[in-house]
Structure 1
Amino acid sequence: MKPLANIPRSTLVYMLLVFLLAAYAMLRVLNLSQAVQKVKATADTTSYVRISQEAVFGNKFLTGSRPFIFPLTLKLFRNDAETVVWAQGLISIISWSILAVSVAYSLHVPFLQFTAFGLILIFSLYRYIIGWDSVLLTESLSLSFMALLIAGWLWLANGWRWGKVIFILMVSFLWAFARDTNAWVVFMVALFLLLLLGLRVLDRKYLILSAAFMFMFFLSNLSADLGDRWVFPFQNILGRRILPNPQALDFFANCGMPVSPALMQLAGGYANSAERAFYEDPALEDYRLWLHQTGKSCYVKWLLADPLESVKGPLTEFNALISMRDLQPFLFSNRFSPVLPGRLEAILFPRQGLLIVFAFVWGAVLIAILTRAWLQNKAWWVVIGMSILVFPHYFITWHGDVMGIYRHVMSAGIQFYLGMWVLVLLVLDSVLSFKASQAGFTNPLFLRNAEQ
């Protein structure tokens, strides 16, 4: 025991953290080793596989019917399903481990740092995070890149370094081209940075990031337009939300959409309903001409024409969708087994009263803004941004498609819960740090000055 007693306390803590990280990685690997025995593919997987067989710099790859990051992953691993799954799992383990370290390092109170490290690792064991690793879809990579991006912002908050900026730009690019809705969130981050620059609370160097994010969004939107990626989800919305709604129908008719009996027969259906009539029915040729000429712009005008009505739909379904309570686990490998007990998941991911929780989160964010909490800890900027962008992220996803909406909204749900817990940690850290400073207490273990 004597040699152990001579080891500095900080070294013992670091050793414990490394042990926890190793145990976490081993648990993830063992869980994935079971799920990988039955890799899950869906109807969407076929599209990604088809694109992966195109030339990397060809139009069909860069402007295909799907964003190119997952097809690129398939191509890199020669479409070997098990290898792709292991790659997704490894990226997920690394990403969430880095986020756990970043969140812990952003706090000042020692025991909260340790708590945060363990909490983020446990959080990432949620079935709707690790379950996607064995599925040949974009969800696993998208969630991993989101975790890495948040970690990068926490890292940058501690001080501007070009290496950190390059890291954020690289991860943002991967995230934006993993799913089209991610590019919209990147665009929102760019606008958020512009707002902070306008208020003169950020250094002008952040204009570089804002401009780069806008350029990424432009490229993503251009790729989506050239590949007509917006057409299928729009026609899902047209069939399910617009054609059955007389007021919406009048708006689109005034916007030039030919409203014919053949089109009205598709009310309540999806883009591929009635033997793909939206695409192939000769009676809808005029509609298809309108669709490609002004359909997208008319849809945007419709959303902006009555903002309250546009917000009403997503708000009504907020609790059901953000809570992921109706997300079906049949999408996962039938060899996948959840790691966390149901009761622990219910604590980490509460499913009731989420609008009330969301209101409390916004209240805490407002207090943080009014008290300029970032002067004590720059990590507050990251949490404020995460919290503010939850609803816009959810709004864009809700209005982006109807089909598979529970799966599509999941990223916004994970962002909501993750932001909620990091917010709780930062509030506790701020309160305890303030009390410690008032009492003249300092602790060298992990403790850094707030000015750093």
Structure 2
Amino acid sequence: MVEPGGRNRPRWSWIERVPAAAVVGALAVVLGYLTRVWVRASAGPLVWNDSADYLASAHTPLWSVDRLLGPRPILMPLVLSASHLSLEHLVEAHDAVAAVSWGLLAGVTAGCFRGGWRPVVAGGAVLVFSLTWPITMWDQQVLTESLALSTFALLAAAGVWFARHRTPARGAWLVVAATLWLVARDSHIIPVAAVGLGLVGAAVARFTGPRRTVVLTGGFLVAVAFLAAGSAQYGHRDRQPIEHVYVARVLPYPERVEWFAHHGMPEARALEALPEVVDPGGLHATYTPVDAAPAWDRWRAWLDRDGRRTLLAYTAAHPSYVWSEPEEQPERVFNNGVGLATYRPLDLHEVPWIATVFAPGVPLVAVVAAGAVTTLVVRRLPWTALATVGAVLALTSAPHALVVWHSDGMESARHLLVPTVQLRTGVLLLLLAALLGQRPREICPPSS
């Protein structure tokens, strides 16, 4: 006679109790890592001008003010320190961190569905999206993009996990993931603060609960965003970007120079007389470079002290500037190359076709988003945690992108990478919720 649960149970029966989401997530980590190693093809690290700043920061003492509140966000220098300042080790860390981060998002997404094939399709879609070249190409480069995208995937996974069951522990993980994303790049302050305020408002209005947990989670998100903003301000990390804005969007235009001169900008006449850089082919906008000569120290001191405030005053006096300036053609930026492809490594392998399907242009992504929402309504599906997080990511990507574009006048293609990936990730989650979602009666059909 065999006792219940006794010794004759098959040795590997525990496998049946492993959640499908965990299996999908683990496979996504392994497949993602192996693919990223293949994509990089053992090519060496790519170094850019900004790389030197991160290396310099990584040479400062770990707990020094220069490290914690310095001219660069702290995550990249921290990973460089953990890599013993080896750029080879850094790009290997990029591969591993990206594989784990996107694998977690694939697993959490898979966990939102029931049935034998739905979790696999959902997790597989996230995995394939994470392997498109606009995402994988940054693992080889000594820049913040790889870590920014990986910590974004962690944040998205934590967001879905929290939205499904709003417990204090999951709220804490969401705050930790948001903090990691914030210390990767300063521009992430906008969506984190927006989500935090949204959570607080939703809980106060009793749209969601438990009220205390949601309010505390939202409050902590706002707090860490505020701390990140303070760190950026203390380290004067907006000093060079704001100069780029003036170089590309103020100095080439006499009427704007006159307005800023009337509002305190020094050396206006001398700056207006500087020669502009003009593209003979008309593909790039003109800009007015200002050299590093001491003659411009007074102007740069004014920029550091009053430049952003005066630019905001100009925006208030000319409200259409916010949306009309990004629409100008050619785009009013410089050092932008031919767009995102400028940064693509020459030796990069690519999984065929996936970028065409999973990384289309923003207008097509907007059409897909509208179709996903329509499908949710037509199919009468419940607005699940996955759909909610997808919508939040997509909606907050717009102000994120707008602030990123207006905060710098150089390399807009690279700087807009994270908001664009944020938009595509949100729409992908929405689309999965619309296409794979089930009504409650389909998940648990009534007994006959």
TM-score band (shorter)? 0.7 to 0.9
Supply the distance in 1 between the matched residues of 2:19 and 2:49 (Cα, whole angstroms): 50
- Give the C-alpha shift of residue 135 in structure 1: 0.8
- Give the C-alpha shift of residue 109 in structure 1: 5.3
Match of 1:56 among 53, 62, 74: 62
Match of 1:66 among 66, 72, 75: 72
- Give the C-alpha shift of residue 25 in structure 1: 3.1
What's the counterpart of residue 356 of structure 2?
346
- Which segment drifts farther, 13-22 or 258-267? 13-22
Alignment TM-score, normalising by the size of structure 2: 0.83
Paired letter, 1:126: T
- Give the C-alpha shift of residue 121 in structure 1: 0.8
What's the counterpart of residue 220 of structure 2?
212
- Deviation per CA, 1:48-75, whole angstroms, max 9, x where unpaired? 1111111122222122221111011111
What's the counterpart of residue 31 of structure 1?
39
* Structure 1 position 124 matched with structure 2 position 96: no
1:103 and 1:154 in contact (8 A); partners too: yes
* Structure 1 position 385 matched with structure 2 position 379: no
What's the counterpart of residue 339 of structure 2?
327
- Give the C-alpha shift of residue 10 in structure 1: 8.2
Supply the distance in 1 between the matched residues of 2:274 and 2:108 (Cα, whole angstroms): 50
Q: Secondary structure of the equivalent of 2:72? A: coil
Q: Secondary structure of the equivalent of 2:50? A: helix
What's the counterpart of residue 150 of structure 2?
144
- Which segment drifts farther, 100-109 or 19-28? 19-28
- Deviation per CA, 1:307-343, whole angstroms, max 9, x where unpaired? 4331223356899x9xx994344535443322x21x3
Q: Percent identity?
A: 24
- Give the C-alpha shift of residue 358 in structure 1: 1.7
Q: Structure 1 pair 414/427, CA: closer, same or farther in 2 (3 Å)?
A: same
- Give the C-alpha shift of residue 416 in structure 1: 1.5
What's the counterpart of residue 283 of structure 2?
none
- Which segment drifts farther, 254-263 or 220-229? 254-263
- Give the C-alpha shift of residue 212 in structure 1: 1.7
Paired letter, 2:71: S
Q: Once superposed, what is the RMSD of the aligned Cα atoms?
A: 3.7
What's the counterpart of residue 355 of structure 1?
363
Paired letter, 1:412: P
Q: Structure 1 pair 441/383, CA: closer, same or farther in 2 (3 Å)?
A: farther
Match of 1:412 among 419, 433, 436: 419
Match of 2:349 among 334, 337, 356: 337
Q: Structure 1 pair 22/74, CA: closer, same or farther in 2 (3 Å)?
A: closer
What's the counterpart of residue 423 of structure 1?
430
- Which segment drifts farther, 176-185 or 289-298? 289-298
Supply the distance in 1 between the matched residues of 2:110 and 2:187 (Cα, whole angstroms): 29
- Deviation per CA, 1:294-314, whole angstroms, max 9, x where unpaired? 222122233344443312233
* Structure 1 position 44 matched with structure 2 position 50: yes
Long gaps (5+) in structure 2? 1-9, 278-285
Supply the distance in 2 between the matched residues of 1:359 and 1:240 (Cα, whole angstroms): 32
1:235 and 1:271 in contact (8 A); partners too: no
What's the counterpart of residue 402 of structure 1?
409
- Give the C-alpha shift of residue 366 in structure 1: 8.8
Q: Structure 1 pair 120/39, CA: closer, same or farther in 2 (3 Å)?
A: same
Supply the distance in 1 between the matched residues of 2:156 and 2:224 (Cα, whole angstroms): 18
Alignment TM-score, normalising by the size of structure 1: 0.82
Long gaps (5+) in structure 1? 443-452
